[in-house]
Structure formats: C-alpha cells, structure tokens
Structure 1
Amino acid sequence: MTGSGLRLTLVETRGPLAVAAVGGEMDLHTAPDLRRQATALIGDHPHLILDLSGVTFCDSSGLNALLRLRRHAGENGGRLPLAAPTDRITRMLRLTGADTVLPLHADVAEARAARPSDVR
C-alpha cells in the first residue's frame, strides 16, 4: 500500500496467518487506507501480525485503526498481535490501555511463537 506516507507490505502468508510490515505515518490521512488494506488481508488470513518497526508516527486515528482491525480480526476468529512497536507507540498503547487488548511483542518471531500452534 502506498500513498500519504504509509506503506503496508505483505511479508508472509501461511494458511490463516499473515505477517504485514507497516511503515511511515499512521494518522488521520493514512488510517483509512491502513484499515482498508488490512481488513482485506484479515478476510483471507484472520491471524494478522502487524510489524510496526517502520512506523514513524501514530496519532489517535492510527490507534483507532488498530483497535478496529483488532475487532475485525476477532469477529473472523483471529487475532491482531503487534510486533516491534516503537517506544512511542508502546507508550501510547499503554497510556490508553490499548495494550490490554492488542498483544505487544518484541518482534515478529516472538509474535509468531505466541500464536496458537495451528496458525504458526
């Protein structure tokens, strides 16, 4: 996905699991594209790991997009763990309590290891 400073790159798919790398800014202008692209991925791969190591900025619109994607994944029998969030994003998730519903992992390997065995 390109446009407005945000990229969503599909890194891997394996059955119900997909890994996608997010890069750039998650804000009012880019959050709708992120939601649209990730929602499409969740349709085929309800267990979506988002690698946030390339995200340079995230505002409340980006947070809202993540929470909506988490709900969509859950409605499809999946989960939305976040891998490698920056310190700023981790802080925002903890301050808002979103870390209680969005699993945070140091990297993609850790997020994958935390998955149920049938979706690794």
Structure 2
Amino acid sequence: MNELAIATHTSGAWHIIALTGDLDLHTAPQLRTAVEARELSPNHGLVIDLSELTYCDSSGITALLVAQRLTTAAAAPMALAAVPSRVARTFKLAGLDQLFTIHPTTADATATDPA
C-alpha cells in the first residue's frame, strides 16, 4: 500500500499542509480530511506544499481540486508550493497550471497577506 505523510502547521495567516509520499486513490481522502480540519476564511488561507510528493495520480489531482473547492466555499485563498517537475508537467498538460496558484516555495506562497 502506498504511504502518504501529512504535516500541518501555521505560518502567519496561512495554514500549511505538507505532503510526503504518494497522493493516489488510497491516500487522497487523507488530504481532504486535513483540509477540512483547517479553519479557512478570507483571512486564513491554505498552502499545500508538494515538495516531497513522489507520485500523484488522477485521484490525487481530484483531491487537490476538492481542496480548492473547499477553500473557495470558505472564500479562502489557496496556493500550491514547490510542485515537483513531473507533477507540474501533468498539471500543464491538463491545464491545471492555469487553475491553481503555484509558487516555487512555501516561503514565497506565505509571503503575502491572504486577505
């Protein structure tokens, strides 16, 4: 079975969810649970750090889209940070690079005020 580790912390007004391992059919529900556990608002955004993501299938992409839907419902900003090149390629092919706000690092993503 594929493993996914999720670490969460807060940086200013940003909730950070860092993923390590595989985001796939078996692990995608863990991301939704982690997002739902955050108190999202227009003043408290979400950054999902993908720097240690080793694999992402269509279920993983769907989980990221669900995270975006949840943040949008809360009027909270969301960004992805440190997207690995192999995942970035898939995002670009699917046009998802136009849908997600993507930053090169978590520090870049959290450098702005979410409001």
Question: Cα distance, 1:45 vs. partner?
Answer: 3.1
Unmatched 5+ stretches in structure 1: none
Higher relative contact order (CA 8 A, sep 6+): 2
1:73 aligns with 2:71: yes
Once the two structures are aligned, what percentage of the paired residues are identical?
Answer: 34
Unmatched 5+ stretches in structure 2: none
Describe the shift of the 1:37–1:4 C-alpha distance in structure 2 as closer, same or farther (beyond 3 A). Answer: farther
Question: Where is the helix percentage greater, Structure 1 or Structure 2?
Answer: 1
Q: Distance in 1 between matches of 2:58 and 2:65?
A: 10
The answer for the alignment partner of 1:31 in structure 2 is 28
In angstroms, what is the RMSD of aligned CA positions?
Answer: 1.8
How many pairs were matched up? 112
Question: Cα distance, 1:95 vs. partner?
Answer: 0.7
Segment drifting more, 3-12 vs 17-26: 3-12
The answer for the alignment partner of 2:80 in structure 1 is 82
TM-score of the superposition, structure 2-length normalised? 0.88
Displaced runs of 4 or more, over 6 A? none
TM-score of the superposition, structure 1-length normalised? 0.84
